[in-house]
């Protein structure tokens, strides 16, 4: 259960940040705290729906494959959690460090991390898939990954296709 | 071959009347293909046309979208704070009671609107943005009005400024001009009543094009913005070129602040060239404090 809760929490936090990213670059106002908070909430909501779909896919044909699912979850966590830890550290550093060092963190950390995030999720699925012979467990991992990766494009498509309030 | 930005080619404005001029798409395509930039040509090919000309309204909307996305990069790089770090001691050194800061090529006016919102320069500073693109000026004014920010925006020519200023500034504009035009740009700011200028642009490090590609790929969705972001890093002027051109404004002392050879290349994404009346230099250094070590003449 700990494995499942950890991964779901990780997915939900990721969904909130995905919602934030979906809204970036679409509002040229200076004060955007509420705008970003709403975007994160939207991402979180879509992430929760994705997790609910994933849970349904996993639980309906569960049978006696619970242990296999736990092993797959642990393997996914082995890839995802270190990445998440580095991202969180980078974000804390960005917020706390002086201006120049903060820029350094963006250029060598948060920018590249955004680019490789989908690859890390795919790597987690592959790693989990290598640890089981059960194709249904592999399918569960794929569904979970798809739900995670879909949040940002869906949020963007639904709410942030055009700049907010401008002629664009 | 010349490195070109699409945004420089797809719009044209009459500097006297302020009217937008039609741009023939085939002319833009021919220019880009002659420069060997097939990718840029493909982006322009997808832009809407009205007859043989680019659809001006669609182009303006695209440029507003690109500048809106670009603002995020400026936010992440703390550009408003970077300007404030130097503007505050500059303005203090001038001793002018109600200084006027004019942002040349302001785009959507992010720097001025940020400074206005933060109050970092104090309430007595007048903030004016100038840009040759009326669509961007209108959007900047709309954004400022929406948040009730004390700054205004007007159309104007960077080489024939109508707006007087205590200090002129710009952000990411210098690389749009060929090196041969830079001296004229700086000289246009050597005017009575002007105490200095402060122009940030992309630092021409070996890492800049890769960093720009990565940054724009991660942060921007508009193909035009992604293309121009990398092109701008490739055409950025070196420190020596900038300093040499800034010195052509004969009435001002020219400096670079934290030039590339003294900075971590990962931290030097943007760096400024600045000018000051000679009699203000000592006061500026004192007001800058410990950071004055970064000034290189």
- What's the structural domain count of chain A? 1
Whether A34 has a pLDDT exceeding 90, the answer reads yes
Kindly state whether residue A130 falls inside one of the protein's structural domains.
yes
Kindly state whether residue B5 falls inside one of the protein's structural domains.
no
Residues B29 and B145 in one domain: no
Residue B19, domain extent: 12-60
Q: Which of A33, A101, A107 to mutate to test the interface with B (most CBs of B within 10 A)?
A: A107
Q: Per-residue DSSP letters for B150-217?
A: S-EEEE-BTTB--S--SEEEEES-GGGS-HHHHHHHHHTT--TT--EEEEEEE---TTHHHHHHHHHH
Whole-number Å distance between alpha carbons of B205 and B119: 33
Strand B167-171 to B152-155 pairing: unpaired
Number of H helices, E strands in chain B: 12, 12
**Which pLDDT band holds residue B181 (cuts at 50, 70, 90)?**
very high
Kindly state whether residue A166 falls inside one of the protein's structural domains.
no
Q: What is the DSSP secondary structure assignment for residue B289, as one 8-state letter? A: G
Secondary structure element (H or E) that encloses residue B287, with its range? helix B281-288
Which residues on A lie below 8 Å from B220 (Cβ)? 25
Residues B46 and B104 in one domain: no
Greatest extent of chain B over all pairs of C-alpha atoms, in Å: 60
A64-111 pLDDT tens trace: 778 888 888 999 999 999 999 999 999 999 989 988 888 888 877 888
The first and second tokens of residue A94, run together, are 């960005």
Q: What is the pLDDT of residue B262?
A: 62
More confident: B18 or B235? B235
Q: In this structure, are residues B161 and B132 in contact, taking their beta carbons and an 8 Å threshold?
A: no
For the full predicted model, state whether its pTM sits above 0.95: no
**Which pLDDT band holds residue A168 (cuts at 50, 70, 90)?**
very low
Kindly state whether residue A18 falls inside one of the protein's structural domains.
yes
Nearest alpha-carbon partner for A24 in A14, A13, A39: A39
Q: What is the pLDDT of residue A110?
A: 84
Q: In this structure, are residues B58 and B46 in contact, taking their beta carbons and an 8 Å threshold?
A: no
Which residues on B lie below 8 Å from A27 (Cβ)? 68
Whole-number Å distance between alpha carbons of A93 and A72: 32
Kindly state whether residue A168 falls inside one of the protein's structural domains.
no
Residues B113 and B33 in one domain: no
Residues B161 and B127 in one domain: yes
Phi then psi for B201, rounded to 5 degrees? -150, 175
In angstroms, the separation between the Cα of residue B34 and the nearest Cα of chain A is 31
Residues B119 and B232 in one domain: yes
Q: Do B68 and A102 touch (CB under 8 A)?
A: no
The first and second tokens of residue A26, run together, are 């679409």
Whole-number Å distance between alpha carbons of B132 and A148: 43
Q: What is the pLDDT of residue A105?
A: 82
In angstroms, the separation between the Cα of residue B211 and the nearest Cα of chain A is 7
Residues B191 and B51 in one domain: no
Q: What is the mean pLDDT of residues B4-17?
A: 89
Residues B27 and B140 in one domain: no
Kindly state whether residue B6 falls inside one of the protein's structural domains.
no
Task: Write the Ramachandran bin of A63: left for phi over 0, alpha for psi from -120 to 50, otherwise beta.
Answer: left
The answer to whether residue B81 neighbours chain A at the CB level (below 8 Å) is yes
Residues B44 and B71 in one domain: no
The answer to whether residue B219 neighbours chain A at the CB level (below 8 Å) is yes
> Residue written as tokens 């907010």?
A164
The answer to whether residue B143 neighbours chain A at the CB level (below 8 Å) is yes
Kindly state whether residue B83 falls inside one of the protein's structural domains.
yes
In angstroms, the separation between the Cα of residue A128 and the nearest Cα of chain B is 27
Nearest alpha-carbon partner for B197 in B79, B78, B83, B283: B83
Kindly state whether residue B7 falls inside one of the protein's structural domains.
no
Kindly state whether residue A14 falls inside one of the protein's structural domains.
yes
Q: Do B269 and A103 touch (CB under 8 A)?
A: yes
Whether B175 has a pLDDT exceeding 50, the answer reads yes
What CATH number corresponds to the domain at position B93? 3.40.50.150
Kindly state whether residue A9 falls inside one of the protein's structural domains.
yes
Q: In this structure, are residues B198 and B87 in contact, taking their beta carbons and an 8 Å threshold?
A: yes
Count CB-CB contacts under 10 A for residue B175: 21
Q: What is the mean pLDDT of residues B25-34?
A: 96
* Contacts across the A-B interface (CB distance below 8 Å): 88
- Looking at every residue in chain B, the average pLDDT score rounds to 92
The answer to whether residue B88 neighbours chain A at the CB level (below 8 Å) is no
Q: What is the pLDDT of residue B264?
A: 63
Helix axes of B179-187 and B239-246: crossing angle, nearest 10 degrees: 40
ipTM confidence: 0.87
**Which strands form B126-131's sheet, in the order they lie side by side?**
B152-155, B126-131, B100-104, B167-171, B196-202, B270-276, B253-257, B295-296
**Which pLDDT band holds residue B265 (cuts at 50, 70, 90)?**
low
- What's the structural domain count of chain B? 2
Residue A138, domain extent: 1-160
Whole-number Å distance between alpha carbons of A26 and A88: 24
- Minimum Cα–Cα distance from A163: chain B residue: B65
Nearest alpha-carbon partner for B234 in B206, B264, B271: B206
Residues B96 and B181 in one domain: yes
Secondary structure element (H or E) that encloses residue B12, with its range? strand B12-13
Q: Do B68 and A108 touch (CB under 8 A)?
A: no
Q: Do A115 and B217 touch (CB under 8 A)?
A: yes
Which residues on A lie below 8 Å from B135 (Cβ)? 167
The first and second tokens of residue B191, run together, are 């005017």
Out of A101, A107, A168, name the one closest to residue B64 (CB): A168
Kindly state whether residue A122 falls inside one of the protein's structural domains.
yes
The answer to whether residue A97 neighbours chain B at the CB level (below 8 Å) is no
Count CB-CB contacts under 10 A for residue A87: 18
Kindly state whether residue A165 falls inside one of the protein's structural domains.
no
In angstroms, the separation between the Cα of residue A114 and the nearest Cα of chain B is 6
The answer to whether residue B226 neighbours chain A at the CB level (below 8 Å) is no
Residues B46 and B95 in one domain: no
A98-153 pLDDT tens trace: 888 888 888 778 888 889 999 999 999 999 989 888 888 888 899 999 999 999 99
Q: In this structure, are residues B219 and B72 in contact, taking their beta carbons and an 8 Å threshold?
A: yes
Count CB-CB contacts under 10 A for residue B95: 10
Phi then psi for B246, rounded to 5 degrees? -65, -30
Q: What is the pLDDT of residue A167?
A: 45
Residue A97, CB half-sphere, CA atoms under 13 Å: how many?
Answer: 18
Residues B117 and B250 in one domain: yes
Which residues on A lie below 8 Å from B71 (Cβ)? 25, 28
Residues B23 and B124 in one domain: no
């Amino acid at each position: 259960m700990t494995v499942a809760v950890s991964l779901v929490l990780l997915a939900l936090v990721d969904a909130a940040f995905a919602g934030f990213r979906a809204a970036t670059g679409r509002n040229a106002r200076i004060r955007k705290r509420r705008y970003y908070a709403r975007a994160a909430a939207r991402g979180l909501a879509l992430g929760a729906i994705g997790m609910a779909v994933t849970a349904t896919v996993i639980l309906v044909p569960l049978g006696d494959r619970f242990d296999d699912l736990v092993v797959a979850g642990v393997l996914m966590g082995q890839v995802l959690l270190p990445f998440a830890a580095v991202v969180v550290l980078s974000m804390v550093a960005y917020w706390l460090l002086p201006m120049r060092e903060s820029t350094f963190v963006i250029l060598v950390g948060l920018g590249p991390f955004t680019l490789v995030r989908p690859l890390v999720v795919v790597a987690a699925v592959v790693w989990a898939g290598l640890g089981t012979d059960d194709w249904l467990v592999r399918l569960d991992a794929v569904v979970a990954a798809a739900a995670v990766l879909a949040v940002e494009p869906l949020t963007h498509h639904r709410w942030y296709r055009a700049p907010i309030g401008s002629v664009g | 071959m010349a490195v070109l930005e699409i945004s420089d080619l797809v719009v044209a404005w009459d500097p006297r009347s302020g009217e937008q001029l039609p741009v023939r798409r085939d002319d833009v395509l021919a220019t880009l293909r002659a420069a060997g930039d097939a990718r840029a040509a493909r982006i322009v090919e997808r832009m809407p046309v009205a007859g043989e000309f680019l659809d001006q309204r669609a182009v303006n909307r695209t440029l507003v979208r690109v500048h809106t996305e670009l603002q995020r990069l400026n936010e992440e790089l703390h550009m408003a704070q970077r300007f404030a770090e130097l503007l505050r001691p500059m303005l203090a050194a001038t001793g002018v009671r109600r200084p006027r800061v004019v942002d040349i090529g302001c785009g959507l006016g992010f720097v001025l609107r940020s400074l206005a919102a933060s109050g970092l320069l104090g309430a007595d500073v007048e903030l004016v943005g100038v840009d040759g693109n009326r669509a961007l000026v209108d959007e900047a004014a709309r954004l400022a009005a929406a948040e009730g920010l004390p700054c205004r925006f007007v159309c104007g020519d960077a080489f024939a400024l109508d707006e007087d200023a205590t200090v002129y500034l710009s952000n990411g504009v210098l690389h749009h001009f060929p090196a041969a035009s830079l001296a004229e740009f700086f000289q246009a700011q050597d005017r009575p009543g002007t105490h200095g200028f402060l122009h940030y642009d992309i630092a021409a490090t070996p890492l800049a094009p890769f960093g720009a590609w990565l940054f724009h790929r991660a942060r921007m969705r508009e193909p035009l913005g992604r293309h121009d972001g990398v092109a701008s890093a490739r055409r950025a002027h070196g420190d020596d070129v900038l300093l040499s051109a800034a010195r052509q404004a004969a009435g001002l002392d020219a400096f670079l602040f934290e030039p590339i050879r003294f900075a971590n290349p990962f931290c030097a994404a943007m760096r400024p060239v600045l000018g000051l009346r000679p009699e203000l230099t000592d006061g500026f250094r004192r007001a800058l404090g410990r950071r004055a070590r970064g000034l290189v003449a």
